[in-house]
């Protein structure tokens, strides 16, 4: 969606004049107009009102597009025979596992990931990378099949299963030390349990009020800012966001290794910036349904 015009217009009714904020924008090739009443005088906080109005229009328009993607995906998925669905899940496991691990420094290529998952053939690469590839693919497929209550214990289980063989000293445990990611210093480790509790509260309070795509984006952003583990936060966070999408009937979003710079850039910004980045990425990834 491209915004065209936002302006204040004045209408006279009898001897009185009334102000309206009018927003004209282009959506799917059509020009649409929406407006809200401001009053007889233009409010002093007009800039704030403009931003809130624009954000509301964007969110409503995006919601329509996201609903179309969801309906199209579910229709396509139900059309596949069960054997084809299983094959697609395996392919998703391969692509998602390769990209999410590569972002975190794994040396395993996409083709090697396929060989490990499909044929149990290990390349001449570090054993840690091989084990984490196997563990991630297995946990990803388990996540697709089993809908569990999203809570702290589930997040700890994910981490333990992903890193139980390679990071035994931290697997399945929240960090108890300071952690820095580039210029970002994560919250004090003593606050992690409370912050994770707040994160789960946020999920429970919004799982029926907020669309799944927005919820997945905001949960991922909040989780990465908490950075609750000594290592593996990105992989657990991306698993969590796709858990939310998949179990609400949406296709998943794979953050590609080759596009990781835009992803990192968005994570450095505020939550609303990351949400809009996430939705744009999601809609581009699934534009065939639009």
More confident residue, 64 or 168: 168
More confident residue, 118 or 64: 118
pTM: 0.83
C-alpha to C-alpha distances, 124 to 96, 104, 121, 137, 168, nearest whole angstrom: 21, 19, 10, 19, 23
Chain region(s) in the chain for CATH 1.10.3290.10:
70-289
Q: What is the pLDDT of residue 2?
A: 44
227 a catalytic residue: yes
Q: What is the pLDDT of residue 1?
A: 43
User: What is the arithmetic mean of pLDDT over 188-208?
Assistant: 97
Q: In this structure, what token pair is assigned to residue 127?
A: 């054993």
Work out the pLDDT band at 27, boundaries 50, 70, 90: low
Q: In this structure, what token pair is assigned to residue 246?
A: 């998949």
Would the pLDDT of 262 be above 60? yes
- As a whole number, the mean pLDDT across the chain is 93
CA pair distance 194, 177, nearest whole angstrom: 15
The angle that helices 212-226 and 233-246 make with each other, rounded to 10 degrees, is 160
Q: What is the pLDDT of residue 4?
A: 59
- What does the pLDDT look like over 38-69, one tens digit per residue? 988 888 889 888 888 877 777 777 788 899 99
Q: In this structure, what token pair is assigned to residue 43?
A: 């409010």
Q: What is the pLDDT of residue 221?
A: 98
- What does the pLDDT look like over 225-246, one tens digit per residue? 999 999 999 999 999 999 999 9
Fold adopted by 70-289 = Fic-like fold (1.10.3290)
Cβ atoms of 234 and 265 within 8 Å: the answer is: no
Q: Exactly one of 227, 247, 265, 276 is catalytic; which is it?
A: 227
More confident residue, 23 or 211: 211
Q: In this structure, what token pair is assigned to residue 255?
A: 């953050």
Lowest mean pLDDT among 16-30, 216-230, 234-248: 16-30
Per the DSSP assignment, residues forming a β-bridge with 34 are 23
């Amino acid at each position: 969606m491209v915004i065209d015009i936002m302006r204040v217009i004045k209408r006279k009714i009898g001897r009185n004049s009334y102000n309206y904020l009018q927003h004209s924008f282009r959506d799917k090739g059509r020009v649409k107009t929406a407006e809200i009443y401001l009053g007889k005088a233009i409010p002093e906080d007009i800039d704030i009102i403009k931003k809130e109005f624009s954000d509301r229009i964007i969110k409503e328009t995006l919601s329509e597009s996201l609903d179309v993607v969801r309906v199209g995906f579910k229709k396509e998925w139900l059309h596949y025979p069960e054997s084809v669905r299983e094959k697609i899940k395996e392919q998703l496991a391969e692509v998602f596992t390769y990209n999410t691990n590569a972002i975190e420094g794994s040396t395993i290529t996409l083709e090697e990931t396929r060989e490990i998952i499909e044929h149990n053939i290990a390349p001449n690469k570090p054993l840690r990378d091989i084990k984490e590839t196997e563990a991630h693919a297995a946990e990803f497929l388990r996540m697709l099949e089993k809908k569990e209550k999203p809570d702290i214990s589930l997040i700890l289980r994910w981490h333990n299963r992903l890193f139980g063989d390679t990071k035994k000293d931290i697997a399945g445990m929240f960090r108890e030390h300071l952690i820095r990611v580039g210029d970002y210093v994560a919250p004090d480790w003593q606050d992690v349990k409370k912050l994770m509790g707040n994160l789960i509260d946020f999920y429970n309070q919004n799982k029926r009020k907020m669309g799944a795509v927005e919820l997945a984006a905001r949960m991922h952003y909040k989780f990465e800012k908490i950075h609750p583990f000594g290592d593996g936060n990105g992989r657990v966070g991306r698993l969590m966001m796709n858990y939310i999408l998949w179990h609400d009937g949406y296709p998943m979003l794979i953050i590609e290794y080759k596009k990781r710079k835009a992803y990192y850039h968005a994570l450095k910004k505020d939550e609303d910036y990351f949400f809009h980045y996430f939705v744009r990425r999601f809609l581009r990834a699934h534009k065939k349904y639009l």
